[in-house]
Amino acid sequence: GAGVSQSPSNKVTEKGKDVELRCDPISGHTALYWYRQRLGQGLEFLIYFQGNSAPDKSGLPSDRFSAERTGESVSTLTIQRTQQEDSAVYLCASSLSFRETDTQYFGPGTRLTVL
Amino acid sequence: RKEVEQDPGPFNVPEGATVAFNCTYSNSASQSFFWYRQDCRKEPKLLMSVYSSGNEDGRFTAQLNRASQYISLLIRDSKLSDSATYLCVVNQSSASKIIFGSGTRLSIRP
């Protein structure tokens, strides 16, 4: 079956512009996660959804970042007024639920470059 | 102190060697633990979960030490294809947090 997909795969934008990143989780997975990975660094947990709700948004780096999920399916991560420091790979993952033992399956990521 | 810490490496070992690395975590309430593998410019993929009793999958053995708050990964008879970054993951589901370590880079040489 299909895995997690993300679009676009690459995005180059100018500083100050808004960008929207999309994630399509595996069908039937109720939990969805967003991470950021800067070059040569580990994964930074941003936010997760259980269904359409995000219990804790404190991992988002600033108020320029927002995320939503609809229909317990597609999620979008929006970055407003992008800054050069936002350049990174944004990874989405999904799992059956947010239980301790549920495996996360990752999408290929969106590589964001802010000029 | 970081919530999850790993030795960044790189570990550079010959093919066939045994290599082990640890990951420490600071929150004793952490509930589940995993090792993920990430190849260069690829997404992470689950290698194995880590259970209290320790678990083995082929050449890979994972251990959890709750008293000392660390998990370990042992790779026996290493192959060239084992070259990757290994990420330690700690799930604090009670706090709605999943924390990835920065990863340990492993390079296997012929």
- Contact B102/A at CB under 8 A: yes
Return contacts of B97-100, CB within 8 angstroms, 24+ apart: B97/A45, B97/A56, B97/A59, B98/A33, B98/A45, B98/A48, B98/A104, B99/A45, B99/B3, B99/B4, B99/B25, B100/A35, B100/A42, B100/A43, B100/A44, B100/A45, B100/B4, B100/B36, B100/B44
Chain segment B14-58, per-residue pLDDT in tens: 999 999 999 999 988 777 899 999 999 899 999 998 988 789 999
- Per the CB < 8 A criterion, the answer to whether B90 and B25 are in contact is yes
The answer, yes or no, to whether residue B7 has pLDDT greater than 90, is no
Q: Write down the pLDDT at residue B95.
A: 67
Taking contacts as CB-CB distances below 8 angstroms, the residues of chain B near A44 are 100
Contacts of A99 in chain B (CB under 8 A): 93
pLDDT, one tens digit per residue, over B67-92 is 999 999 999 999 999 999 999 999 87
- Residues from chain A that touch B51, judged by Cβ atoms under 8 A, are none
Among B42, B93, B97, beta carbon nearest to A100: B93
